[in-house]
Chains A and B, each alone.
Chain A
């Protein structure tokens, strides 16, 4: 099973600032099958990034993903008020079990 470790646990930033979230895997993620999701209170997760760096439909270009192997990053170039939420990474390689990281909360400073 691939364990995903997200850091930091909480990120305190102001609107307009840049957010950098990390996701580290315990072993290499096959074919960069790594996704990022955003979750707001009381809502289901929303797919932001798949394939480590491809934006899902309708996702603003201030969200970008990068990385390969065991180290992945989600960057929000300029935080908008609606971006304050919890972010999860997830690996979906061809061999289950599928696993999620523990999440990073981006809160208003």
Chain B
């Protein structure tokens, strides 16, 4: 059974960098699939942030591209998100998921982690 688990600070100050990690179990990232980040502001819809392949190939949402970096660590079977210069508008539940790019849907999701941007 594929499982994903997000981790990272729940509170980030404005203008700082949000950093999250997604640990994957039950499947080796090196075996394939893209791995992505999606966020959901409180009471709102879903927004794709970006995705990465085990080779390091990345795709980013153009609306966030200038602030986003997604990286992968195959030795630890995990991938990470960095979002710089955050504002209150970046407050959201952040999900990691398998799939998305490469003509595959998001078939496995983490439970999500709430990140609040506030001083």
Residues of A near any B CB (own CB < 8 A): 1, 31, 33, 35, 37, 43-47, 50, 56, 88, 90, 92-94, 96-103
Is B105 a contact of A92 with CB atoms below 8 Å? Answer: yes
Is B45 a contact of A44 with CB atoms below 8 Å? Answer: no
Is B103 a contact of A96 with CB atoms below 8 Å? Answer: no
Query: With A96-B51, A103-B45 in contact, do A44 and B110 touch (Cβ < 8 Å)?
Result: yes
Label chain B's interface by main secondary structure: loop
Residues of B near any A CB (own CB < 8 A): 36, 45-48, 51, 59-63, 95, 97, 99-107, 109-112
Please give the distance in Å from A11's CB to the nearest CB on chain B: 16
Query: With A88-B46, A96-B101 in contact, do A44 and B111 touch (Cβ < 8 Å)?
Result: yes
**Complex CA–CA separation, A103 to B100 (angstroms):** 18
